[in-house]
Protein backbone atom coordinates (compact mmCIF):
# COMPACT_ATOMS: atom_id res chain seq x y z
CA UNK A 1 0.00 0.00 0.00
CA UNK A 2 1.36 3.44 -0.97
CA UNK A 3 1.37 6.01 1.81
CA UNK A 4 1.66 9.75 1.42
CA UNK A 5 4.56 11.62 2.95
CA UNK A 6 3.26 14.45 5.08
CA UNK A 7 6.72 15.98 5.36
CA UNK A 8 7.25 16.31 1.61
CA UNK A 9 6.79 19.99 0.84
CA UNK A 10 8.11 19.99 -2.72
CA UNK A 11 6.06 21.99 -5.24
CA UNK A 12 3.53 20.09 -7.31
CA UNK A 13 5.66 20.43 -10.46
CA UNK A 14 8.68 18.96 -8.66
CA UNK A 15 6.61 15.99 -7.47
CA UNK A 16 5.48 15.30 -11.03
CA UNK A 17 8.94 15.72 -12.56
CA UNK A 18 10.36 13.37 -9.91
CA UNK A 19 8.01 10.59 -10.99
CA UNK A 20 8.04 11.42 -14.69
CA UNK A 21 11.85 11.34 -14.87
CA UNK A 22 12.22 8.15 -12.83
CA UNK A 23 12.65 5.79 -15.80
CA UNK A 24 15.28 8.01 -17.40
CA UNK A 25 17.29 8.23 -14.19
CA UNK A 26 17.19 4.49 -13.61
CA UNK A 27 18.12 3.67 -17.21
CA UNK A 28 21.13 5.98 -16.95
CA UNK A 29 22.21 4.07 -13.86
CA UNK A 30 21.79 0.76 -15.67
CA UNK A 31 23.91 2.04 -18.57
CA UNK A 32 26.68 3.17 -16.22
CA UNK A 33 26.64 -0.29 -14.63
CA UNK A 34 26.66 -1.82 -18.16
CA UNK A 35 23.77 -4.11 -17.28
CA UNK A 36 22.44 -6.30 -20.11
CA UNK A 37 18.80 -5.92 -21.10
CA UNK A 38 16.50 -7.75 -18.71
CA UNK A 39 12.75 -7.71 -19.39
CA UNK A 40 11.96 -8.48 -15.74
CA UNK A 41 14.13 -5.57 -14.60
CA UNK A 42 12.39 -3.32 -17.11
CA UNK A 43 8.94 -4.32 -15.84
CA UNK A 44 10.03 -3.90 -12.23
CA UNK A 45 11.40 -0.43 -12.95
CA UNK A 46 8.17 0.62 -14.67
CA UNK A 47 6.21 -0.61 -11.66
CA UNK A 48 8.49 1.42 -9.39
CA UNK A 49 7.71 4.52 -11.46
CA UNK A 50 3.99 3.83 -11.22
CA UNK A 51 4.26 3.40 -7.45
CA UNK A 52 6.24 6.63 -7.16
CA UNK A 53 3.59 8.48 -9.17
CA UNK A 54 0.89 7.12 -6.84
CA UNK A 55 2.90 8.12 -3.79
CA UNK A 56 3.54 11.66 -5.06
CA UNK A 57 -0.12 12.01 -6.06
CA UNK A 58 -1.19 11.07 -2.51
CA UNK A 59 1.31 13.53 -1.09
CA UNK A 60 -0.09 16.32 -3.23
CA UNK A 61 -3.72 15.30 -2.70
CA UNK A 62 -3.25 15.38 1.10
CA UNK A 63 -2.54 19.10 1.09
CA UNK A 64 -5.41 21.19 2.39
CA UNK A 65 -5.21 23.92 -0.23
CA UNK A 66 -4.33 23.84 -3.90
CA UNK A 67 -2.76 26.82 -5.56
CA UNK A 68 -1.65 27.77 -9.04
CA UNK A 69 -1.11 24.69 -11.22
CA UNK A 70 -1.30 22.12 -8.39
CA UNK A 71 -4.40 20.42 -9.81
CA UNK A 72 -2.81 20.22 -13.25
CA UNK A 73 0.25 18.40 -11.95
CA UNK A 74 -1.95 16.23 -9.76
CA UNK A 75 -3.83 15.19 -12.90
CA UNK A 76 -0.55 14.38 -14.63
CA UNK A 77 0.57 12.27 -11.66
CA UNK A 78 -2.69 10.32 -11.75
CA UNK A 79 -2.22 9.90 -15.51
CA UNK A 80 1.28 8.55 -14.92
CA UNK A 81 -0.13 6.23 -12.23
CA UNK A 82 -2.76 4.86 -14.67
CA UNK A 83 -5.61 6.19 -12.53
CA UNK A 84 -7.84 7.47 -15.30
CA UNK A 85 -10.84 8.48 -13.20
CA UNK A 86 -8.71 10.54 -10.82
CA UNK A 87 -6.78 12.12 -13.71
CA UNK A 88 -10.04 13.09 -15.42
CA UNK A 89 -11.51 14.58 -12.25
CA UNK A 90 -8.36 16.56 -11.45
CA UNK A 91 -8.08 18.02 -14.92
CA UNK A 92 -11.76 18.98 -14.99
CA UNK A 93 -11.34 20.72 -11.63
CA UNK A 94 -8.24 22.51 -12.93
CA UNK A 95 -10.09 23.72 -16.03
CA UNK A 96 -12.82 25.40 -14.00
CA UNK A 97 -10.47 28.27 -13.20
CA UNK A 98 -7.90 27.88 -15.98
CA UNK A 99 -9.29 28.29 -19.49
CA UNK A 100 -6.32 29.51 -21.54
CA UNK A 101 -2.68 28.56 -21.94
CA UNK A 102 -0.69 25.46 -22.81
CA UNK A 103 -1.50 23.69 -19.52
CA UNK A 104 -5.22 24.15 -20.04
CA UNK A 105 -4.95 22.77 -23.57
CA UNK A 106 -2.89 19.82 -22.32
CA UNK A 107 -5.50 19.22 -19.61
CA UNK A 108 -8.21 19.04 -22.28
CA UNK A 109 -6.19 16.36 -24.08
CA UNK A 110 -6.15 14.27 -20.90
CA UNK A 111 -9.91 14.81 -20.46
CA UNK A 112 -10.55 13.55 -24.01
CA UNK A 113 -8.32 10.50 -23.43
CA UNK A 114 -10.12 9.26 -20.35
CA UNK A 115 -13.60 10.40 -21.34
CA UNK A 116 -13.41 8.37 -24.56
CA UNK A 117 -12.06 5.37 -22.66
CA UNK A 118 -15.18 5.39 -20.50
CA UNK A 119 -17.44 6.18 -23.51
CA UNK A 120 -18.40 9.55 -21.99
CA UNK A 121 -18.39 11.06 -25.47
CA UNK A 122 -20.34 14.24 -24.64
CA UNK A 123 -17.58 15.21 -22.18
CA UNK A 124 -14.90 14.43 -24.78
CA UNK A 125 -16.75 16.39 -27.47
CA UNK A 126 -17.07 19.41 -25.16
CA UNK A 127 -13.34 19.31 -24.37
CA UNK A 128 -12.43 19.26 -28.07
CA UNK A 129 -14.74 22.20 -28.77
CA UNK A 130 -13.13 24.13 -25.92
CA UNK A 131 -9.71 23.29 -27.33
CA UNK A 132 -10.72 24.83 -30.66
CA UNK A 133 -11.54 28.23 -29.12
CA UNK A 134 -8.50 28.56 -26.88
CA UNK A 135 -4.77 28.96 -27.49
CA UNK A 136 -2.22 27.63 -28.16
CA UNK A 137 -3.38 24.99 -30.61
CA UNK A 138 -1.15 22.21 -31.92
CA UNK A 139 -2.09 20.16 -34.98
CA UNK A 140 -0.71 16.99 -33.36
CA UNK A 141 -2.85 17.43 -30.23
CA UNK A 142 -5.95 18.06 -32.34
CA UNK A 143 -5.12 14.97 -34.39
CA UNK A 144 -4.86 12.78 -31.29
CA UNK A 145 -8.10 14.04 -29.74
CA UNK A 146 -10.14 13.70 -32.93
CA UNK A 147 -8.65 10.24 -33.47
CA UNK A 148 -9.77 9.14 -29.99
CA UNK A 149 -13.30 10.34 -30.73
CA UNK A 150 -13.45 8.72 -34.16
CA UNK A 151 -12.17 5.44 -32.72
CA UNK A 152 -14.75 5.56 -29.93
CA UNK A 153 -17.59 6.12 -32.40
CA UNK A 154 -16.23 3.31 -34.56
CA UNK A 155 -16.49 0.93 -31.61
CA UNK A 156 -20.11 2.01 -31.24
CA UNK A 157 -20.77 1.54 -35.00
CA UNK A 158 -21.76 5.19 -35.35
CA UNK A 159 -20.06 5.66 -38.67
CA UNK A 160 -21.60 9.02 -39.54
CA UNK A 161 -19.77 10.39 -36.48
CA UNK A 162 -16.62 8.51 -37.52
CA UNK A 163 -16.69 10.40 -40.81
CA UNK A 164 -17.28 13.73 -39.07
CA UNK A 165 -14.25 13.34 -36.83
CA UNK A 166 -12.04 11.50 -39.32
CA UNK A 167 -12.34 14.45 -41.72
CA UNK A 168 -11.01 16.64 -38.90
CA UNK A 169 -8.22 14.13 -38.22
CA UNK A 170 -7.09 14.35 -41.84
CA UNK A 171 -7.28 18.14 -41.72
CA UNK A 172 -5.09 18.16 -38.59
CA UNK A 173 -2.63 15.74 -40.22
CA UNK A 174 -2.33 18.03 -43.24
CA UNK A 175 -1.74 21.02 -40.96
CA UNK A 176 0.98 19.05 -39.18
CA UNK A 177 2.54 18.15 -42.54
CA UNK A 178 2.65 21.80 -43.61
CA UNK A 179 4.48 22.95 -40.47
CA UNK A 180 6.67 19.95 -39.60
CA UNK A 181 8.58 19.24 -42.77
CA UNK A 182 11.48 17.56 -40.93
CA UNK A 183 9.34 14.90 -39.23
CA UNK A 184 8.88 12.81 -42.36
CA UNK A 185 7.85 9.48 -40.91
CA UNK A 186 5.51 10.90 -38.25
CA UNK A 187 3.95 13.14 -40.93
CA UNK A 188 3.34 10.24 -43.31
CA UNK A 189 2.05 7.99 -40.53
CA UNK A 190 -0.46 10.62 -39.42
CA UNK A 191 -1.66 11.25 -42.98
CA UNK A 192 -2.04 7.56 -43.77
CA UNK A 193 -3.76 6.56 -40.52
CA UNK A 194 -6.24 9.42 -40.79
CA UNK A 195 -6.95 8.54 -44.41
CA UNK A 196 -7.58 4.89 -43.58
CA UNK A 197 -9.92 5.85 -40.72
CA UNK A 198 -11.81 8.23 -43.00
CA UNK A 199 -11.96 5.67 -45.82
CA UNK A 200 -13.48 3.09 -43.47
CA UNK A 201 -16.08 5.66 -42.43
CA UNK A 202 -16.89 6.52 -46.02
CA UNK A 203 -17.27 2.86 -46.97
CA UNK A 204 -19.54 2.16 -43.99
CA UNK A 205 -21.76 5.10 -44.98
CA UNK A 206 -21.94 4.13 -48.68
CA UNK A 207 -19.64 6.93 -49.84
CA UNK A 208 -17.06 4.91 -51.78
CA UNK A 209 -16.43 7.65 -54.31
CA UNK A 210 -15.38 10.03 -51.55
CA UNK A 211 -12.87 7.44 -50.35
CA UNK A 212 -11.49 7.12 -53.88
CA UNK A 213 -11.21 10.89 -54.25
CA UNK A 214 -9.55 11.21 -50.85
CA UNK A 215 -6.80 8.67 -51.64
CA UNK A 216 -6.34 10.24 -55.08
CA UNK A 217 -5.78 13.60 -53.39
CA UNK A 218 -3.33 11.96 -50.98
CA UNK A 219 -1.31 10.63 -53.92
CA UNK A 220 -1.08 14.15 -55.33
CA UNK A 221 -0.03 15.45 -51.91
CA UNK A 222 2.68 12.77 -51.81
CA UNK A 223 4.08 14.19 -55.05
CA UNK A 224 4.23 17.66 -53.53
CA UNK A 225 5.80 16.79 -50.18
CA UNK A 226 7.48 14.66 -51.71
CA UNK A 227 7.05 11.22 -50.12
CA UNK A 228 7.66 7.91 -51.83
CA UNK A 229 6.27 6.00 -48.85
CA UNK A 230 2.99 7.94 -48.71
CA UNK A 231 2.59 7.62 -52.48
CA UNK A 232 3.07 3.86 -52.28
CA UNK A 233 0.59 3.34 -49.44
CA UNK A 234 -2.00 5.66 -51.00
CA UNK A 235 -1.72 3.75 -54.27
CA UNK A 236 -2.16 0.39 -52.49
CA UNK A 237 -5.32 1.63 -50.79
CA UNK A 238 -6.63 3.16 -54.00
CA UNK A 239 -6.08 -0.10 -55.86
CA UNK A 240 -7.98 -1.94 -53.11
CA UNK A 241 -10.96 0.37 -53.67
CA UNK A 242 -10.66 0.29 -57.47
CA UNK A 243 -9.02 -3.02 -58.54
CA UNK A 244 -8.79 -1.89 -62.19
CA UNK A 245 -7.09 1.39 -61.23
CA UNK A 246 -4.02 2.01 -63.41
CA UNK A 247 -1.32 2.75 -60.84
CA UNK A 248 1.29 3.21 -63.57
CA UNK A 249 -0.51 6.06 -65.28
CA UNK A 250 1.52 9.26 -65.40
CA UNK A 251 -0.01 12.38 -63.88
CA UNK A 252 -0.89 14.28 -67.05
CA UNK A 253 -2.80 17.27 -65.64
CA UNK A 254 0.16 19.34 -64.50
CA UNK A 255 -2.04 22.32 -63.64
CA UNK A 256 -3.85 20.21 -61.06
CA UNK A 257 -0.64 19.13 -59.34
CA UNK A 258 0.73 21.06 -56.35
CA UNK A 259 3.59 23.48 -56.86
CA UNK A 260 6.99 21.80 -56.76
CA UNK A 261 8.78 21.63 -53.43
CA UNK A 262 11.90 19.67 -54.29
CA UNK A 263 14.54 19.25 -51.58
CA UNK A 264 18.06 19.59 -52.94
CA UNK A 265 20.23 16.48 -53.06
CA UNK A 266 22.81 16.27 -50.26
CA UNK A 267 25.94 14.36 -51.31
CA UNK A 268 29.54 13.85 -50.28
CA UNK A 269 30.63 12.19 -53.52
CA UNK A 270 29.54 12.29 -57.17
CA UNK A 271 30.60 9.47 -59.50
CA UNK A 272 30.70 10.22 -63.24
CA UNK A 273 28.49 13.24 -62.61
CA UNK A 274 29.44 16.83 -61.89
CA UNK A 275 27.95 18.14 -58.62
CA UNK A 276 24.69 19.82 -59.50
CA UNK A 277 21.56 21.20 -57.85
CA UNK A 278 18.13 20.10 -59.00
CA UNK A 279 17.24 23.75 -59.47
CA UNK A 280 20.08 23.97 -62.01
CA UNK A 281 18.57 21.10 -64.00
CA UNK A 282 15.28 22.89 -64.61
CA UNK A 283 14.39 22.40 -68.28
CA UNK A 284 15.51 18.77 -68.27
CA UNK A 285 13.69 15.60 -67.25
CA UNK A 286 15.18 14.13 -64.08
CA UNK A 287 14.95 10.56 -62.81
CA UNK A 288 16.03 10.15 -59.17
CA UNK A 289 16.65 6.50 -58.42
CA UNK A 290 17.17 5.54 -54.75
CA UNK A 291 19.10 2.27 -54.63
CA UNK A 292 21.89 0.21 -52.98
CA UNK A 293 24.40 -2.33 -54.24
CA UNK A 294 23.03 -5.06 -51.93
CA UNK A 295 19.43 -4.56 -53.12
CA UNK A 296 18.33 -7.35 -55.49
CA UNK A 297 15.27 -5.54 -56.89
CA UNK A 298 17.47 -2.49 -57.53
CA UNK A 299 19.77 -4.56 -59.73
CA UNK A 300 16.74 -5.82 -61.62
CA UNK A 301 16.06 -2.25 -62.80
CA UNK A 302 19.59 -1.63 -64.17
CA UNK A 303 18.95 -2.78 -67.76
CA UNK A 304 15.91 -0.52 -68.10
CA UNK A 305 17.67 2.50 -66.58
CA UNK A 306 20.65 1.95 -68.84
CA UNK A 307 18.38 1.66 -71.87
CA UNK A 308 16.53 4.88 -70.98
CA UNK A 309 19.77 6.75 -70.42
CA UNK A 310 21.06 5.65 -73.82
CA UNK A 311 17.81 6.52 -75.62
CA UNK A 312 16.92 9.82 -73.97
CA UNK A 313 20.09 11.39 -72.60
CA UNK A 314 20.52 13.56 -75.68
CA UNK A 315 16.87 14.62 -75.44
CA UNK A 316 17.23 16.02 -71.92
CA UNK A 317 16.97 13.04 -69.55
CA UNK A 318 19.24 13.11 -66.48
CA UNK A 319 19.34 9.96 -64.35
CA UNK A 320 20.86 10.26 -60.88
CA UNK A 321 21.41 7.05 -58.92
CA UNK A 322 21.14 8.03 -55.23
CA UNK A 323 22.80 5.79 -52.69
CA UNK A 324 24.72 6.20 -49.43
CA UNK A 325 27.51 4.63 -47.44
CA UNK A 326 26.18 1.47 -45.79
CA UNK A 327 29.51 0.34 -44.34
CA UNK A 328 29.42 -2.99 -46.10
CA UNK A 329 29.36 -4.73 -49.46
CA UNK A 330 28.99 -8.43 -50.24
CA UNK A 331 28.81 -9.06 -46.46
CA UNK A 332 32.24 -7.39 -46.02
CA UNK A 333 32.60 -4.38 -43.70
CA UNK A 334 34.01 -1.36 -45.56
CA UNK A 335 35.29 2.07 -44.62
CA UNK A 336 33.78 5.00 -46.57
CA UNK A 337 36.94 5.16 -48.70
CA UNK A 338 36.80 1.45 -49.47
CA UNK A 339 33.09 1.64 -50.21
CA UNK A 340 33.64 4.50 -52.65
CA UNK A 341 36.17 2.37 -54.54
CA UNK A 342 33.69 -0.51 -54.51
CA UNK A 343 30.94 1.75 -55.92
CA UNK A 344 33.15 2.88 -58.79
CA UNK A 345 34.04 -0.74 -59.61
CA UNK A 346 30.38 -1.78 -59.27
CA UNK A 347 29.36 0.91 -61.74
CA UNK A 348 31.90 -0.21 -64.33
CA UNK A 349 31.14 -3.92 -63.82
CA UNK A 350 27.42 -3.37 -64.42
CA UNK A 351 28.03 -0.93 -67.29
CA UNK A 352 25.85 1.79 -65.73
CA UNK A 353 26.26 4.89 -67.84
CA UNK A 354 24.42 7.39 -65.62
CA UNK A 355 25.86 9.23 -62.63
CA UNK A 356 25.91 8.11 -58.99
CA UNK A 357 25.23 10.40 -56.04
CA UNK A 358 26.64 9.19 -52.70
CA UNK A 359 25.53 10.52 -49.32
CA UNK A 360 26.84 9.83 -45.83
CA UNK A 361 23.51 10.06 -43.97
CA UNK A 362 19.78 9.37 -44.31
CA UNK A 363 18.96 12.99 -45.18
CA UNK A 364 17.96 12.30 -48.80
CA UNK A 365 15.77 9.36 -47.75
CA UNK A 366 14.08 11.55 -45.15
CA UNK A 367 13.61 14.47 -47.52
CA UNK A 368 11.93 12.25 -50.10
CA UNK A 369 10.06 9.92 -47.73
CA UNK A 370 11.92 6.83 -48.93
CA UNK A 371 11.36 3.80 -46.69
CA UNK A 372 12.15 1.08 -49.21
CA UNK A 373 14.28 0.73 -52.31
CA UNK A 374 14.27 0.96 -55.20
CA UNK A 375 12.15 4.12 -55.18
CA UNK A 376 12.20 6.36 -58.24
CA UNK A 377 10.97 9.93 -58.81
CA UNK A 378 10.24 11.30 -62.28
CA UNK A 379 10.55 15.09 -62.44
CA UNK A 380 9.45 17.00 -65.52
CA UNK A 381 11.13 20.01 -67.17
CA UNK A 382 9.22 22.45 -64.94
CA UNK A 383 10.47 20.75 -61.77
CA UNK A 384 7.16 18.99 -61.04
CA UNK A 385 7.17 15.38 -59.82
CA UNK A 386 4.91 13.52 -62.23
CA UNK A 387 5.35 9.95 -61.03
CA UNK A 388 6.82 7.90 -58.19
CA UNK A 389 7.69 4.24 -58.58
CA UNK A 390 8.39 1.89 -55.69
CA UNK A 391 9.83 -1.56 -56.30
CA UNK A 392 11.41 -3.10 -59.35
CA UNK A 393 8.22 -2.78 -61.40
Query: Are residues 49 and 132 part of one domain?
Result: yes
Q: How many domains is the chain built from?
A: 2
The closest alpha carbon to 252, from 380, 376, 391, 368, belongs to 380
Query: Are residues 111 and 228 part of one domain?
Result: yes
Query: Are residues 158 and 35 part of one domain?
Result: yes
pLDDT of 155 reads 96
Query: Are residues 359 and 277 part of one domain?
Result: yes
Q: Which neighbouring-strand residues pair with 328?
A: 333
Secondary structure (DSSP) of 284-311: SEEEEEE--TT-HHHHHHHHHHHHHHHH
Residue 255 belongs to some domain of the structure: no
Residue 37 belongs to some domain of the structure: yes
- C-alpha span between 106 and 91 (Å, rounded): 9
- C-alpha span between 101 and 140 (Å, rounded): 16
Query: Are residues 178 and 120 part of one domain?
Result: yes
Which residues span the domain enclosing 33?
Answer: 12-241
Average pLDDT, the chain: 94
Residue 247 belongs to some domain of the structure: no
Q: What percent of the chain has pLDDT over 90?
A: 89
Query: Are residues 155 and 98 part of one domain?
Result: yes
For strand 285-290 and strand 317-324, is the pairing parallel, antiparallel, or unpaired? parallel
pLDDT of 1 reads 44
Using the predicted structure, report yes or no on whether residue 2 has a pLDDT greater than 60: no
DSSP assigned state of 10: -
CATH code: domain of residue 333? 3.40.30.10
Residue 188 belongs to some domain of the structure: yes
Query: Are residues 227 and 376 part of one domain?
Result: no
Residue 297 belongs to some domain of the structure: yes
- C-alpha span between 372 and 249 (Å, rounded): 21
Query: Are residues 280 and 330 part of one domain?
Result: yes
pLDDT of 88 reads 98
Using the predicted structure, report yes or no on whether residue 66 has a pLDDT greater than 50: yes
The overall pTM is greater than 0.85 = yes
Q: Please, are residues 205 and 230 in contact by the beta-carbon 8 Å criterion?
A: no
Residue 260 belongs to some domain of the structure: no
Residue 64 belongs to some domain of the structure: yes
Query: Are residues 177 and 52 part of one domain?
Result: yes
The closest alpha carbon to 79, from 125, 21, 16, belongs to 16
pLDDT tens digits, 147-156 = 999 999 999 9
Query: Are residues 195 and 158 part of one domain?
Result: yes
CATH code: domain of residue 25? 1.25.40.10
Query: Are residues 235 and 354 part of one domain?
Result: no
Using the predicted structure, report yes or no on whether residue 256 has a pLDDT greater than 80: no
Residue 4 belongs to some domain of the structure: no
Amino acid sequence: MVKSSGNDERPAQALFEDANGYLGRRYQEFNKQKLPYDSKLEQRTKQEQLDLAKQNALTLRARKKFKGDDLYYLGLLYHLANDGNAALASMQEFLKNNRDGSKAQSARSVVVLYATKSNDLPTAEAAVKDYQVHEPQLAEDRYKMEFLLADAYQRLNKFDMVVEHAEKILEAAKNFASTNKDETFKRDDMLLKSAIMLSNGYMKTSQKQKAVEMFSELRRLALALPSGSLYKQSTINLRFLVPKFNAQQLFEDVAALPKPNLPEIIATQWIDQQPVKLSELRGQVILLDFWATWCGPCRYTFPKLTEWNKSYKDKGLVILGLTKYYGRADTRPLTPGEELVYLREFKKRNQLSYGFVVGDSNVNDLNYGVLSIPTTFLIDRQGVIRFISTGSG
